[in-house]
Amino acid sequence: MIKHHHPTPVNPKRVVILGSAGFIARDLARYLDELGIDNLPVGSEQINLINPESVEQLGRLIQPDDALVISSALTPEKGKDVHTFMKNLLMINHVAAFFENARCRQVVYLSSDAVYDEQASLLSEATPRSPANLYGLMHVAREQMLQFVLGNRQVPLCIVRPCAIYGARDTHNSYGPNRFFRTALKDRKILLFGQGEERRDHIYIHDVTRFLSLCLQHASQGTVNLASGQTISFHDLAQLIVKLCPHPVPIECLPRSTPITHRHFDVSLRLREFPRFACTSLETGLAETGQELLSEAND
């Protein structure tokens, strides 16, 4: 369930974004600038959430009428071990310590669909959280930590769980559009696991930032999955990207090491609570991503 504390959109006075170096944080700051919403991206060089002194630093920075977006996280390419897991929990532990004696307008936490079982084929917000790895478990723990402390402080918390995000400035190079584009342009080939049969949902980075901005303007509270509601196989996705490349790109298949799984989203909650939000078509999003990557390659 989602509760909008501002049924009619109201711009927050300021948005503080933790994790300024991240893919989503950078695009969110860009979009908030376009909307004329004051925002302050904060990176680890300014406030390193792993350090205990970050609690006091947050206290000097965040004002009661600020909205806070938490996108800070060590993602799987930075480490998949227990040490990385504990660092991620420590970050939110220090955020929680700040909120023990402080409040703000709203907190938006950027989670992940990794909180769900990898074998679950149809996902909704009611799907039990049953992560398959430490990265997903980390997001589950962070969600619960924030729900506990912000519930006590009566600060609205909006948890957004996006599916796989694509866009030209992605920093993760995850399997799917981001990696396919880069290998197609650099190595002139695309590698698929098996025959690329798995079907997945993919969402464009600009849609993610538009959606986060709506959550901020509505001061939304609750949990929502962010997905387009449309799936495509990795093979068909690769074919779309091949057509956007300026040179021939063969598709090569690697031996499969894991079973075939599909992942679909029931987006009825998003459609009901954010009726004016519409996702960019995959074809349009891929075309814009390809144009941007080609432009960067030619600079």
| Residue 149 one-letter amino acid | V
pLDDT band for 8, please (50, 70, 90 cuts). very high
Whether the per-residue pLDDT at 121 is higher than 90: the answer is no
Residue limits of CATH 3.90.25.10 in the chain = 167-200+230-263+280-298
Whether the per-residue pLDDT at 16 is higher than 70: the answer is yes
For domain 167-200+230-263+280-298, the question of CATH label 3.40.50.300 is answered with no
User: Quick one: average pLDDT of 121-126?
Assistant: 92
The predicted pLDDT at position 181 comes to 92
Q: Is 216 exposed, middle or buried (0-12, 13-18, 19+ CB in 10 A)?
A: buried
Whether the per-residue pLDDT at 299 is higher than 70: the answer is no
CATH T-level assignment (fold) for domain 2-164+203-226: Rossmann fold (3.40.50)
User: Quick one: average pLDDT of 129-136?
Assistant: 94
pLDDT band for 295, please (50, 70, 90 cuts). confident
Residue limits of CATH 3.40.50.720 in the chain = 2-164+203-226
The predicted pLDDT at position 257 comes to 83
* pLDDT tens digit sequence for 80-115: 899 999 999 999 999 999 999 999 999 999 999 999
Share of the chain above pLDDT 70, in %: 99
The predicted pLDDT at position 75 comes to 87
The predicted pLDDT at position 111 comes to 97
pLDDT band for 47, please (50, 70, 90 cuts). very high
The predicted pLDDT at position 259 comes to 86
* pLDDT tens digit sequence for 197-256: 999 999 999 999 999 999 999 999 999 999 999 999 999 999 999 999 999 999 999 998
168-175 long-range contacts, CB within 8 A, separation 24+: 168/288, 168/289, 168/292, 168/293, 168/296, 169/23, 169/26, 169/27, 169/205, 169/292, 170/23, 170/205, 171/21, 171/22, 171/23, 172/23, 172/75, 172/76, 172/77, 173/77, 175/234
For strands 2-4 and 220-226, give the pairing. Answer: antiparallel
* pLDDT tens digit sequence for 261-271: 899 999 999 99
